[in-house]
Amino acid sequence: MELNLNIPSWSDLRFWLPEAILCITFLVALLGDLVVRGRRTWVPFAVSVAGLITAGAYAVAAMNHGLDAGQFQGHTIMGSLMIVDGMAGFFRLLFIFASLVTVLFAWTSEEIMGKRRENKGEFYALTVLLTAAMMVMAEARDLLMLFLSMEAVGLISYVMAGYMRTSLRSSEASLKYVLFGAVSSAIMLYGMSLLYGMTGAMEFDGIRNALISGTVDPFALLVVVVLILAGMSYKIAAVPFHYWCPDVYEGAPTPVSAIFSVGPKAAGFALMIRFFYTTFAAGTDAGTQLVQDINWPLLVAVMSVATMTYGNLVALRQTNVKRMLAYSSIAHVGYLLMGFVLLSSAGLASILFYLLVYTLMNLGAFFYVVAINNHLKSEELSDYVGIGFRAPWAGAMMVIFLASLTGVPPFAGFVGKFYLFTAVLDKQWFWLAIVAALNSVVSLYYYFKVVRAMFLSTPAEGTDMSPLKLHWLQYVVLAMLAIPTLALGLFFEEFKGLADMAIGMMGG
């Protein structure tokens, strides 16, 4: 037996600085929290913010350097376990931004900090570690790293979902997350073990080469694809592996639901893109071919339709805003999956752009729920009546987020959907485009229901209509999300170009 000991050289790690910084930040924040033990909760907060900003600066520098050089085809790290390329660079920035705004907003959330701010700062440390794990998910190019990064994200998520230990809802959400997560990762692992058996390789490109050159039973390969797809669609909460999603989002503290609804989902998409487009599809641009004629695009297309239709229809009858947003996030996964089936770089680039837009608008909507929850202690739609007038600025920003989620021009959500639909029509998947268009119309109804409650409904007699005083940081963060949501609806070329380049610079 030959054990291929490919000792990685330390010099590789200079491409991995942002992740390394985040890992160190995690340790410092956790230890710092223990040292100051409950007295100064700002210590882990400040450490986390500083770490995220530093890592972000390095990630931006790496991206700029890669773009200047005109190519960012990737540096493999730790042998061939991971690759830092244009796509990984794009996702790094996305994750760091999402985590940074979440950490900032969580500082003002009573669910996270406790009423008398008695809670410790583990939340910040965990968010930082989650960011690092998600970044590795976007970089994995080996079955082992794929599994480890997905489990790392999963394990941290289970803990974060149960963060409010005094709340039964939070613990219950966490338990459901663990059970579904464990079983779906076991299913995915079984598929991976069979794939390893068929090909004898762990790296994605090695697997592809073995599949192309070797003789593989098509039926067995189809089973493997289905098993692996099951595990990954659990991560992005696509039908039929979505059961956990509404319960977890509703039970977990709202800032945690916010990061769950964008971070791990985007990471799941990054992983799926890299895995399926290197392993089960060969070639780039116009000539992407399926390996061994396994028609996984059709499989995913059916899933996409089921996901968006289910998400939208069930969202219609929700009375809890947080739960409604959970179903809406399922519907958005359905839209995103459309770009995944096209086998074209335009489709993948539109996924990346839509993920960017989705991050802004979905985080914004969740954060508004956090801000309101601090005062009302409720997420029920019936309690939102007249709330728009009690905090007009925040209310106006919420309307922007909801309009963007619907996909109404001139907001960013419209541009994102426009690119997705164009890519779909380019590849002549007309039925897919029609179903998605109908779905967008349905979604207008439930998003507007929230706007109507906030601004248009007449509150019952005796309802408290005193103005709500929001924390200044909440206005800052909401503006950080609302202004780009507006701006990206008008000046999108630059960022669409970035998404195009990221996909163009995807190394094998």
Partner 1 sequence: MEITLTHYLLLAAAIFVTGMVGFIVRRNAIVMLMCVELMLSSVNIVFAAFSRFHLDGGGHVFVLMNFAVAAAEAAIGLAILVEIFRRRRTVNVDDLKTLME
The binding site for partner 1 (CB under 8 A) comprises 1-4, 143-144, 147-148, 151, 154-155, 158-159, 162, 165, 168-169, 171-176, 178-179, 182-183, 186-187, 189-190, 192-194, 196-197, 200-202, 246-247, 250-251, 323
Minimum separation from the CB atom of position 201 to partner 1 (A): 8
Minimum separation from the CB atom of position 197 to partner 1 (A): 4
Minimum separation from the CB atom of position 488 to partner 1 (A): 34
Minimum separation from the CB atom of position 152 to partner 1 (A): 9
Query: Counting Cβ atoms within 10 Å, is residue 472 exposed (0-12), middle (13-18) or buried (19+)?
Result: exposed
- Closest to partner 1 by CB, 237 or 470: 237
Amino acid at 178: V
- Closest to partner 1 by CB, 33 or 247: 247
Q: Are 133 and 152 in contact (CB under 8 A)?
A: yes
- In what helix (H) or strand (E) does residue 36 lie, and over which residues does it extend? helix 17-36
Minimum separation from the CB atom of position 73 to partner 1 (A): 25
Minimum separation from the CB atom of position 160 to partner 1 (A): 11
CA dist 213 and 285 (Å) reads 22
Q: Are 184 and 241 in contact (CB under 8 A)?
A: yes
CA-wise closest residue to 15 among 82, 75, 90: 75
CA-wise closest residue to 349 among 463, 124, 499: 499
Minimum separation from the CB atom of position 415 to partner 1 (A): 34
- Closest to partner 1 by CB, 162 or 339: 162
Minimum separation from the CB atom of position 315 to partner 1 (A): 12
Q: Is the peptide bond before 409 cis (omega within 30 degrees of 0)?
A: no
Residue 376 tokens read as: 């009302």
- Closest to partner 1 by CB, 12 or 172: 172
- Closest to partner 1 by CB, 8 or 392: 8
CA dist 499 and 168 (Å) reads 41
Rounded to the nearest 10 degrees, what angle do helices 122-139 and 86-106 cross at? 170
- Closest to partner 1 by CB, 186 or 456: 186
- Closest to partner 1 by CB, 122 or 151: 151
Q: Left, alpha or beta for 114 (phi > 0: left; psi -120 to 50: alpha)? A: left
- Closest to partner 1 by CB, 8 or 197: 197
- Closest to partner 1 by CB, 8 or 410: 8
Minimum separation from the CB atom of position 400 to partner 1 (A): 29
Residue 357 tokens read as: 């837009």
Minimum separation from the CB atom of position 455 to partner 1 (A): 27
Sign for the CA dihedral angle at 418, 422, 424, 430 comes to positive
Q: Are 421 and 410 in contact (CB under 8 A)?
A: no
- Closest to partner 1 by CB, 304 or 373: 373
- Closest to partner 1 by CB, 142 or 500: 142
Q: Are 346 and 425 in contact (CB under 8 A)?
A: no
The b/e string for 315-334 (b: 16+ C-beta within 10 A; e otherwise) is: beebebbbbbbbbbbbbbbb
Minimum separation from the CB atom of position 161 to partner 1 (A): 9
**Cα–Cα distance list, 112 to 38, 97, 100, 172, 281 (Å):** 14, 20, 15, 17, 43
CA dist 96 and 51 (Å) reads 10
Q: For 109, list phi and psi in degrees, rounded to 5.
A: -90, 130
The most distant pair of C-alpha atoms in the chain lies apart, rounded to whole Å, by 80
DSSP state of 453: I
Partners of residue 83 on adjacent β-strands: 76
Query: Counting Cβ atoms within 10 Å, is residue 35 exposed (0-12), middle (13-18) or buried (19+)?
Result: exposed
- Closest to partner 1 by CB, 254 or 304: 254
Minimum separation from the CB atom of position 384 to partner 1 (A): 19
- Closest to partner 1 by CB, 145 or 454: 145
CA-wise closest residue to 218 among 290, 167, 121, 147: 290
Sign for the CA dihedral angle at 444, 449, 451, 457 comes to positive
Rounded to the nearest 10 degrees, what angle do helices 345-376 and 472-490 cross at? 150
Minimum separation from the CB atom of position 206 to partner 1 (A): 10
